[in-house]
Structure 1
């Protein structure tokens, strides 16, 4: 039985992503715990959603901090960040659209900071000749997050393997969809 809040959040995030109206009972079941245990960890649905948002933002911050410190060639830096795409998918899928997140102090500011840092990383890729310079870095950052969200959703629905997703995101990000 899971009683670690982080493990419960990891199990709850995909449930809410698939079904915005998922009950606390359905979320608890997906985490392999009772509803009572879930409500002991997160007394209300709003508390749960807000904790999910904080976790997602923390995960994005960790991935970006690693990418920002990495002195490897930019292709390796971006490949490593894409390998950890889920928090960026979850950011777009849940944090930007879930109304209960509005109660999280600074969530909007943190989400905007994550996006600005992602833009800066894309600019670094442009400056070093890896990414196209004829597109704004904001477009490339949005494309990355959109691709991450799509890959995560397809993985959740069983249309794509979880190990395929980073390769597909990287291929589209670096080479586009042309033949």
Structure 2
């Protein structure tokens, strides 16, 4: 007869399998948003049947990967000091966490072709709001431009991050240079028209 510990052991094994698959999905889809279920299964070291035993569709797998990445990103981003001037706070945010945001951006690309638009917006709401709040704060301080729609500026920041991730994948931009390049690009885009990219008048 099976022991009473068999059930908990099976659950623990399943949880480890799910964690391994989700981690593989994050890495695989970040590198190639069009990666297949087979690609993820291979990266996770499991068979298709095992993967489909936990995730019935590619959409479920993509959502699990995106949700996990956003959770990890939220933990990291919430630890960044955003006090003080908005320009410096945004620089710290980009410098310390651009790679997490870029990963989420790549996963969003995968999700946009798989999940309903409303679900994608809901999952991405918290990271987008953090950037939006910083830009609005900078506008109130007079250091960020107000001549363009706020939602457009938020999206531009994410476009820059997506571009940085793509340049990394293509090895056209060194990883150690990316934070500096991203920060300089975003700061120049957001600078109030009367100011230069470094805040000089």
Distance 1:26 1:107 in 2: 23
> Retained in 2: the 8 A contact 1:130–1:174?
no
TM-score by length of 2: 0.66
> Retained in 1: the 8 A contact 2:157–2:186?
yes
Structure 2 residue runs without a partner (length 5+): 1-15, 190-195
> Retained in 1: the 8 A contact 2:138–2:144?
yes
Larger Rg: 2
Q: Does 1:61 align with 2:74?
A: yes
2:125 maps to 112
Distance 1:76 1:4 in 2: 41
2:179 maps to 166
- Within the candidate set 160, 166, 173, 1:147 is matched to 160
TM-score by length of 1: 0.72
Distance 1:8 1:166 in 2: 29
Flag the 1:18–1:130 CA change in 2: closer, same or farther, 3 A. Answer: same
Flag the 1:169–1:21 CA change in 2: closer, same or farther, 3 A. Answer: closer
TM-superposed CA distance for 1:165, in Å, is 1.5
Instruction: State the SS of the aligned residue for 2:166.
Output: helix
TM-superposed CA distance for 1:166, in Å, is 1.4
> Retained in 1: the 8 A contact 2:73–2:100?
yes
Flag the 1:4–1:142 CA change in 2: closer, same or farther, 3 A. Answer: same
Comparing 50-59 with 133-142, greater Cα deviation is found at 133-142
1:127 maps to 140
Distance 2:82 2:109 in 1: 28
Structure 1 residue runs without a partner (length 5+): none
Distance 2:20 2:91 in 1: 26
Number of corresponding residues? 173
Q: Aligned Cα RMSD in Å?
A: 3.4
TM-superposed CA distance for 1:167, in Å, is 1.0
Equivalence map 1:28-107=2 (5 Å): 28-31=41-44, 33-35=45-47, 39=51, 42-44=54-56, 45-67=58-80, 70-83=82-95, 84-95=97-108, 98=111, 99-102=113-116, 107=120
For residues 93-116 of structure 1, the C-alpha deviation after alignment (integer angstroms, 9 at most, x for no partner) is 33365244339x955323234323
